[in-house]
Amino acid sequence: MRYALSFVVVLAVTVAAQQGPDRSHPPAPGPTPTLHLPAIQKLKLSNNLPVWVVELHKVPVAQVNLVVRSGTANDPPGHFGVASLTAAMLEEGADSKTSLEIADAVDFLGADLAATSGFDASVVRLHVPIARLGNALSIMGDVVERPTFPNDELERLRQQRLTSILQGRDDPPTIASVAYARVLYGPMHRFGTPQFGTAAIIKAFTPDDLRSYYTSAYRPDNGVLLAVGDVTAASLIPQLERTFGPWKASSQAPPALKLPEAPQHAGRQIYLVDKPGAAQSQVRIGWIGVQRSTPDYFPIQVMNTILGGSFSSRLNMNLREVHGYTYGASSQFDMRADAGPFTAAAGVQTDKTADALKEFFNELKGILKPVPDDDLERAKSYVAFRYPGTFETTGDISRRLEDAIVYRLPDDYFSTYVQHIQAVTAADVERVAKKYIDPEKLAVVVAGDREKIEGPIRALNLAPIKVLTIDEVFGPKP
């Protein structure tokens, strides 16, 4: 632990300014500040819709989010993209208001209102000056409870999304990420297709598809309302009750879909997507990682911090600071209700692509060896000591609450987070590295200038190379 080091704790300033400070060693930290996590008040409306309230009184603003536990991961086969498009359509007509009227009303209040889908939840998020909260809630209520799914607005959003998919072909990080998900999970598993779906599916959606999805997902028995900001539960609850209390589900909840088991990536393989003229190659390396409920959550956080989760991590130090191949290299475990990918990533200069791949694998092999105490303590301290600072804004806290809601985290999750991190040992880190990273079996996706990079990559003898076309990554041009 950081504070067990032999530093003298200085509580007060005793050095006179004229003397000049002692720069022979870094100043020791004072006592660790006390952690005051905000209280979460858990209540319910008359329709049993749970409400979580966190009071934060510094700035006169509020964040109010409706979370429904249905995300893109639950899109049925053949309807990949339905959650995302349904969320986007909520603001395109609700109750008697048109798309333009809703937007005008929200903008006039100085509010931000947006509905989006993640893998495991869809969320309608409202951020608003506290003085305008009442009016804004009424619009949010319309959008959540009474969307109308007008046909002409759907046509417009459809064309906008098809155009976005077309534009994805321009952007090397997008190409690499879409290709990476596809080679890991395949076309049948939901995680193998972007959350907004494919052009073919987007072309086929009808307003009824969206209405039917809406009815199954947006319902008080599938949701939690959360509010963070300059509010008191006592004054806020009656407002929420008026807006969301009368909301009723119109049918029985459909059974939850279970994602098929995705087979793990079997053997090391390079997938090359040609992007002629690219100044850099976008690299993604990894395989299927772990689900959010893993008992190894905390050791994985520490292990990944050492590997590629901080500026001083091994990947960034090696590829950026030592070799200068990149502006930044990192790694992450994307944890969802089902196992998301583990990914090491960087954009590397074209003529150093093969050298960079070699260094990636040096670090991916290196993390399997016992980690030195210094690395372990620095990573643990970094994750643990910065944690209290991540509860600062209404947005920060609401994101934490969303996680707790969606992944059903225990009540003491936030208050015990730091001690869980501090309990991680070198043996834990070694164990989870070996369990969740096998350099012999990882997928390597490179989106770059094939003419310049294929030869040097081939000469590395790292793995067989399969060339993917842009159409294989995105489907045919919309």
Partner 1 sequence: MKRVLALLLVAIAAPTFAQTPPPKLEVTSTQFTLPNGLTVILHEDHRVPMVTTNMWYHVGSAREKPGRTGFAHLFEHLMFMGSGHVKPGEFDEWLEESGGDNNGSTETDRTNYWINVPSNAIQLALFLESDRMGYLLESMTPKTVDAQRDVVKNERRQSYENRPYGMAEPTLGELLYPPDYPYHWPVIGYMPDLTAASYDDVVEFYKSYYAPANASLVVAGDIDPARTRALVEKWFSDVQKGRAPEQMHVPEVPLAGVQRKTITDRVQLPRIYDAWLTPPHFKAGDAALDVVADILAGGKNSRLYKRLVYDMQIAQDVNAEQASAQLSSSFQIVVTARPGHTVAELQKVIDEEIGKLQATGPTDHELQRSVNQIEASFYNRLERVGGFGGVADQLNAYYTDTGHPDYFNEDLARYRVLTTADVRGAAQKYLPLDKRVELTVEPEKP
Binders of partner 1 among residues 23 to 52 (CB under 8 A) are 23-24, 26-37, 39-46, 50
Our CB check for partner 1 shows the closer of 125 and 190 to be 125
Q: Within positions 416 to 445, which residues make up the interface with partner 1, using CB under 8 A?
A: none
Minimal distance in Å, beta carbon 424 to partner 1?
15
Decide whether 367 or 379 has the Cβ nearer to partner 1: 379
Binding region for partner 1 (CB under 8 A) out of 193-201, 253-261, 318-326, 438-446: 318-326
Q: Which of residues 209, 377, 428, 472 is near partner 1 by CB under 8 A? A: 377
Quick check: 171 and 178 in contact, CB under 8 A?
no
User: Does 232 interact with partner 1 (rule: CB under 8 A)?
Assistant: no
Note whether 7 binds partner 1 by CB under 8 A.
no
Buried-state track 407-443, b at ≥16 Cβ within 10 A, e below 16: bebeeeebeebbebbbebeeebbbebbeebbebeebb
Q: Least separation, in Å, of the C-beta of 27 and partner 1? A: 4
Stretch that binds partner 1, among 66-74, 106-114, 143-151, 330-338 (CB under 8 A): 106-114
Q: By CB under 8 A, is residue 95 in contact with partner 1? A: no
Quote the least distance from Cβ 461 to partner 1, whole Å. 26
Binding segment for partner 1 (CB under 8 A), chosen from 235-243, 257-265, 450-458, 460-468, is 235-243
Ranges within 332-371 binding partner 1 (CB under 8 A): 347-349
Instruction: State which residue, 166 or 188, has the beta carbon closest to partner 1.
Output: 166
61 binds partner 1 (CB under 8 A): yes
- Amino acid symbol at 73: A
β-strands 50-55, 223-229 pairing: parallel
Query: What is the phi-psi region of residue 110: left when phi exceeds 0, alpha when psi lies from -120 to 50, beta otherwise?
Result: left
From 190-198, 216-224, 252-260, 317-325, span contacting partner 1 (CB under 8 A): 317-325
Torsion of CA 411, 412, 418, 419, to 10 degrees: -140
DSSP reduced 3-state for 468: strand
- In whole angstroms, the minimum distance from the beta carbon of 327 to partner 1 comes to 4
Nearer to partner 1, 110 or 263 (CB): 110
Most distant pair of Cα atoms in the chain: their distance = 77
Q: Which two tokens stand for residue 413?
A: 């999750």
Q: Quick one: which H or E segment has residue 106?
A: helix 99-108
Helices (H), 126-195: 133-145, 151-168, 172-185
For tokens 């294989």, name the residue.
472
Q: Is 384 near partner 1 (CB under 8 A)? A: yes
Radius of gyration of the chain measured on its C-alpha atoms: 25
Site for partner 1 in 257-296 (CB under 8 A): 275-280
393 binds partner 1, rule: CB under 8 A: yes
Decide if residue 131 touches partner 1 (CB under 8 A). yes
Q: Which stretch binds partner 1 (CB under 8 A): 168-176, 265-273, 287-295, 401-409?
A: 168-176
Question: Closest approach of Cβ 105 to partner 1, in Å?
Answer: 10
| 156 lines the binding site for partner 1 (CB under 8 A) | yes
DSSP state, 139?
H
> Applying CB under 8 A, which of residues 114, 204, 259, 317 lies at the interface with partner 1?
317
Measured from the CB of residue 24, what is the shortest distance to partner 1 in angstroms?
Answer: 7
Return the closest-CA partner of residue 219 out of 137, 311, 122: 122
CA distance 199 to 477: 8
Report how many residues bind partner 1 under the rule CB under 8 A.
Answer: 115
The verdict on 133 binding partner 1 (CB under 8 A) reads yes
Residue 20, judged by CB atoms within 10 A of its CB (0-12, 13-18, 19+), counts as exposed
Q: For residues 178 and 195, give the distance between their C-alpha atoms in angstroms, rounded to a whole number.
A: 10
Q: Between 215 and 349, whose beta carbon lies closer to partner 1?
A: 349
Binding residue for partner 1, selected from 104, 261, 451, 471, defined by CB under 8 A: 104
Binding mask 203-222 for partner 1 (x = CB under 8 A): --------------------
Give the separation between CA 156 and CA 163, rounded to whole angstroms: 11
**Spatial separation of the C-alpha atoms in residues 73 and 337, rounded to whole Å:** 9
Q: Which of residues 65-94 bind partner 1 (CB under 8 A)?
A: none
Are 308 and 329 a contacting pair, CB within 8 Å?
Answer: yes
Burial class (CB in 10 A: 0-12, 13-18, 19+), 151: exposed
The amino acid that residue 67 corresponds to is V
